[in-house]
Amino acid sequence: MRYLTSGESHGPKLITIIEGLPAGMPLTAEDINEQLARRQKGHGRGRRMQIETDTAEIGGGIRHGQTLGSPVSLIVENNDWKHWTKVMGQGPIDEEESSEIKRKISRPRPGHADLNGAIKYGHRDMRNVLERSSARETTVRVAAGAAAKKLLSLLGIKIASHVLEIGGVKADIQEYPSIDKIIELTEQSPVRCLDPVAEKKMMQAIDDAKTNGDSIGGIVEVIAEGMPVGVGSYVHYDRKLDAKLAGAIMSINAFKGVEIGIGFEAASKPGSEVHDEIIWDSIHGYTRKTNRLGGFEGGMTTGMPVIVKGVMKPIPTLYKPLNSVDIETKEPFAASIERSDSCAVPAAAVVAESAVAWELASAIVDQFYSDRFEGLLENVEKHRQYAREF
């Protein structure tokens, strides 16, 4: 499967075209909208999220609540567009227009895409860069991820995400609840955190950062349960599914690190405390006593829960801006201030969940291919039975 997205942050709309979903799979606008609404929540977001009520219009590929096998297109309108029709106008610029509309952004923000993007594409107005480098684009990535989540759920694969850390405040989770409980609890938490004590401290850390004109990052975790064993492959570097997941997490705006299972902790532990012992019973077949390797061995799923963490850096736009250089005058200046979030880690957890869902669904469609959803389901079930009896 593959998808592309188009659209600028303050342009008229965002669009994704998804190719490769099997025909006959139930999928509705409600399935997509539920996920879009989750991405909009979270303590620490700026005013933009009050302007938007992200909902998807289906442009094609679905009839009577089922996929047709043709490309699925999803369109999300930017409510904010009505405030930007002149600045983001698509026709040639009218010389009579006010200077505000022609005002160029020439002070790049350290940590954003502004300067590198301007040099790369030759834009003297860095609005031409920030409009597309903005994480507004993650709206339609979540829309594509919602289709992937639907496919996974119909195959009995559940996926959840939660926030482990914000601005140095760590969640203390002694024992993980069931995946259904994680889904339920994170929906009730303003920072998508499973530890109510840490939740309050995280909110305070976000408020403090905002008051100080600063921003903070954090760590999110995605968990997927019910993946069949042996998805992905060890035979080629580009077929390793753990590598694809790492790439997907790193592709999210502001993500700077990924771990699968215990990840970096493995460096300081002996093998006996890293590898998961193999056990067998007649109902489940082969499983592992522990899951420190996060559901992967040899680039393939083990059948244990897939566990992926991602590190998000603090948001680069600061109300107390860092020093930068004006590209017109070459003079040092404080960087431009664009309206901004002070922390978007809770929203980014939903984006990470979508990114992981997409890669898992894509790998399943590749490996158990059928043009029909029923055929895919049959192939996955046959494989599950084969693996249990192996």
Ligand X SMILES: Cc1cc2nc3c(=O)[nH]c(=O)nc-3n(C[C@H](O)[C@H](O)[C@H](O)COP(=O)(O)O)c2cc1C
Is 45 one of the annotated binding-site residues? Answer: yes
Among residues 304, 298, 260, 299, the alpha carbon closest in space to that of 278 is found at 304
Residue of the chain from 135, 300, 343, 345 that contacts ligand EPS (CB under 6 A): 135
Report the distance separating Cα 349 and Cα 309, nearest Å.
10
CB of 305 within 8 A of CB of 295?
Answer: yes
Give pairs for 79-87: CB < 8 Å, separation 24+: 79/51, 79/52, 79/53, 80/10, 80/48, 80/51, 80/52, 81/10, 81/11, 81/12, 81/13, 83/10, 84/10, 84/11, 87/10, 87/127
Which amino acid is it at 304? M
351 binds, among ligand X, ligand EPS, none (CB under 5 to 8 A by kind): ligand X
What sign has the CA pseudo-torsion 29, 31, 36, 41? positive
* 160 contacts ligand EPS (rule: CB under 6 A): no
Report the distance separating Cα 258 and Cα 138, nearest Å.
18
214 binds, among ligand X, ligand EPS, none (CB under 5 to 8 A by kind): none
* 136 contacts ligand EPS (rule: CB under 6 A): yes
Q: Closest separation between CB of residue 108 and ligand EPS, Å?
A: 13
139 binds, among ligand EPS, ligand X, none (CB under 5 to 8 A by kind): ligand EPS
Report the distance separating Cα 163 and Cα 29, nearest Å.
27
Q: How many CB atoms lie within 10 A of CB 282?
A: 7
Q: In this chain, which residue has its C-beta nearest to ligand EPS? A: 48
DSSP class of 314:
P
9 binds, among ligand EPS, ligand X, none (CB under 5 to 8 A by kind): ligand EPS
Q: Closest separation between CB of residue 171 and ligand EPS, Å?
A: 23
What is the full DSSP assignment across 238-269?
GG-HHHHHHHHHHTSTTEEEEEETTGGGGGGS
Pick the closer one to ligand X by CB: 32 or 355.
355
Residue of the chain from 139, 189, 301, 302 that contacts ligand EPS (CB under 6 A): 139
Helix 29-40 to helix 138-154 angle, to the nearest 10 degrees?
130
Is 141 one of the annotated binding-site residues? Answer: no
Stretch that binds ligand EPS, among 30-38, 129-137, 142-150, 264-272 (CB under 6 A): 129-137
CB of 151 within 8 A of CB of 21?
Answer: yes
Cα 378 to its chain centre, rounded Å, is 29
Q: Closest separation between CB of residue 165 and ligand X, Å?
A: 16
Residue of the chain from 106, 189, 340, 367 that contacts ligand EPS (CB under 6 A): 340
* 82 contacts ligand EPS (rule: CB under 6 A): no
Is 134 one of the annotated binding-site residues? Answer: yes
The pair of structure tokens assigned to 89 is 């106008």
Report the distance separating Cα 316 and Cα 339, nearest Å.
11
* 338 contacts ligand EPS (rule: CB under 6 A): yes
Q: Closest separation between CB of residue 48 and ligand EPS, Å?
A: 3
Stretch that binds ligand EPS, among 150-158, 200-208, 335-343, 381-389 (CB under 6 A): 335-343
* 9 contacts ligand EPS (rule: CB under 6 A): yes
136 binds, among ligand X, ligand EPS, none (CB under 5 to 8 A by kind): ligand EPS
* 46 contacts ligand EPS (rule: CB under 6 A): yes
- Residue 112's alpha-carbon distances to 132, 135, 337, in angstroms, are 11, 11, 12
206 binds, among ligand X, ligand EPS, none (CB under 5 to 8 A by kind): none
Q: How many CB atoms lie within 10 A of CB 222?
A: 25
Binding site for ligand X (CB under 6 A): 46, 112-113, 133-135, 138, 252-254, 315-317, 340-341, 344, 347-348, 351
Residues belonging to the binding site are: 39, 45, 132-134, 253-254, 298, 313-317, 339
Q: Which residues participate in the annotated binding site for FMN?
A: 132-134, 253-254, 298, 313-317, 339
Q: Residues in the site for ligand EPS, rule: CB under 6 A?
A: 9, 46, 48, 134-136, 138-139, 253, 338-341
